[in-house]
Amino acid sequence: MDERGKQPLLILAGATAVGKTEISLAIARELNGEVISCDSGQVFRGLDIGTAKISMKDRGEIPHYGIDIADPRQTFSVADYQRYAREAISQIAGHGRLPIVVGGTGLWIRALIQNYVFSPQDPQISRILRQHIRMIGDEHGWDIVRQILSTVDPASYARIAPRDYNRLTRALEVFWSTGKPLPRNGQDSPYRVSYWVLTRPMAELRERIRVRVQEMMFRGLPKEVLGLLQQGIDRYSQALSAIGYKETADWAYGLATAEERDSLIIRHTRQYAKRQLTWFRSEKAARWLDLSLVDPQRVIRLIVQDVHEHLLMPS
């Protein structure tokens, strides 16, 4: 397909706590855009503080999609996100506005813009397989699950972190239900993409994460998690496996002190940020902007100018 015939799409990606939100709001104002969140925690209703969801006031000014779209009792996969985001992009474009994908869940971004093809799966079979895989992990250790995955889907085994139980489960579930590994290659993209990654030096990012976790505790993350558990949300659900929620749920069950909980959230978030940066470095189309070197206002001007000159070119 000729690039000029494709739907323009702006991507603003980056590690957690890098500062994507304020910049994305400013760019959306300048470009008459609407935002599609790409955050695997923000899709769940009730997970507000620990996922740093944008305020209702800001959502009222700039329409946001991809937030509060799933029940925390359910699962939400990369295929679910791809399907949802495609519909959101069409809806935004139908308003005559620019779709802007903002977030740090790199696989979801790639599946969307590279047009991954997912095999259809029977929901009941998938649910039974997920329960079975989690039982293996909980009763026999997740190293067993990883060993199984390494034999049937080496690419997913190499890419998925050992503690990322949800993605390990998903990868093995897909293979057992379809006989095929998770898709890694897409088809021709329907989008003309401008892909930007916002970054900072790791030392600066580590400090920002520490401050963010402190702010989350002050705002009431423990109370939020207790409320979710009281609603009957399984502590092993996908929603409560998100960083910040898993550690706080363990604290709620007496498996960690408050000090251990906070320390683990900071450590795991920092580890996740490193994995995000590693992922985005593999995206050949992405351009990087270091927020420690370039003033945020300058970043906004650079991206807005580039979008006008290259993304919004006439068909």
> 234 and 291: one domain?
yes
> In the beta sheet, which residues pair with residue 10?
100, 194
> 107 and 231: one domain?
yes
> 166 and 37: one domain?
no
The per-residue pLDDT for 170 is 80
> 218 and 92: one domain?
yes
Region 47-64: mean pLDDT is 96
| E runs forming strands in the chain | 7-14, 33-38, 64-65, 98-103, 191-199, 287-290
Nearest in space to 237 (alpha carbons), one of 249, 251, 227:
249
Return the structure tokens found at 7: 């739907």
pLDDT in tens, 93-121: 999 999 999 999 999 999 999 988 776 66
The per-residue pLDDT for 312 is 86
Q: List the binding residues.
A: 14-21
pLDDT in tens, 133-159: 888 888 888 998 898 888 888 888 888
**287-290 sheet: strands from edge to edge:** 64-65, 33-38, 98-103, 7-14, 191-199, 287-290
Task: Please list the alpha-helical segments (H only) found in 5-153.
Answer: 20-31, 56-61, 78-94, 106-113, 123-140, 142-152
14 exposure class (CB count in 10 Å sphere: 0-12, 13-18, 19+): buried
> Please, which pLDDT band fits residue 277 given cuts at 50, 70 and 90?
very high
Q: Which of 178, 201, 220 is the last residue of a domain?
A: 178
Residue 223 has pLDDT above 70, yes or no: yes
> Please, which pLDDT band fits residue 1 given cuts at 50, 70 and 90?
very low
> 230 and 287: one domain?
yes
The per-residue pLDDT for 130 is 80
Which 8-state DSSP code applies to residue 307? I
Please state whether the predicted TM-score (pTM) of the whole model is above 0.75. yes
Tell me the percentage of the chain whose pLDDT exceeds 90.
Answer: 71
Region 191-195: mean pLDDT is 95
Q: Are 36 and 105 in contact (CB under 8 A)?
A: no
Q: List the binding residues for substrate.
A: 16-21
pLDDT in tens, 203-213: 999 999 999 99
Residue 315 has pLDDT above 60, yes or no: no
* CA 23 – CA 283 distance, rounded (Å): 21
Count of structural domains within the chain? 2
CATH number at residue 148: 1.10.20.140
Distances (CA, A) of 48 to 43, 75, 94, 99, 312: 10, 17, 29, 23, 34
The per-residue pLDDT for 7 is 94
Region 207-223: mean pLDDT is 98
Q: Per-residue b/e over 182-212, b at no fewer than 16 CB within 10 Å?
A: bbeeeeebbbbbbbbbbbbeeeebbebbbeb
Pairing mode of beta strands 98-103, 64-65:
unpaired
> 191 and 62: one domain?
yes
> 23 and 132: one domain?
no
Q: Are 49 and 219 in contact (CB under 8 A)?
A: yes
Residue 194 has pLDDT above 90, yes or no: yes
Range of the domain at 84: 3-117+185-311
Residue 70 has pLDDT above 80, yes or no: yes
> 109 and 135: one domain?
no
> 16 and 89: one domain?
yes
Mapped onto helix, strand or coil, the DSSP state of residue 195 is strand
Region 68-85: mean pLDDT is 94
Q: List the binding residues for ATP.
A: 14-21
> 164 and 293: one domain?
no
The secondary structure of the chain in percent helix, strand, coil, rounded to multiples of 5, reads: 55, 10, 30
CATH number at residue 245: 3.40.50.300
> 260 and 207: one domain?
yes
Whole-number average pLDDT of the chain: 91
Q: Which helix (H) or strand (E) holds 225?
A: helix 221-230
pLDDT in tens, 284-310: 999 999 999 999 999 999 999 999 998
> 97 and 208: one domain?
yes
The per-residue pLDDT for 153 is 87
pLDDT in tens, 234-248: 999 999 999 999 999
* CA 186 – CA 262 distance, rounded (Å): 39
Rounded to 5 degrees, what are φ and ψ at 289? -130, 120
Q: Which of 151, 178, 205 is the last residue of a domain?
A: 178
Distances (CA, A) of 306 to 96, 290, 299, 312: 19, 17, 11, 9
The per-residue pLDDT for 2 is 47
> Please, which pLDDT band fits residue 175 given cuts at 50, 70 and 90?
confident
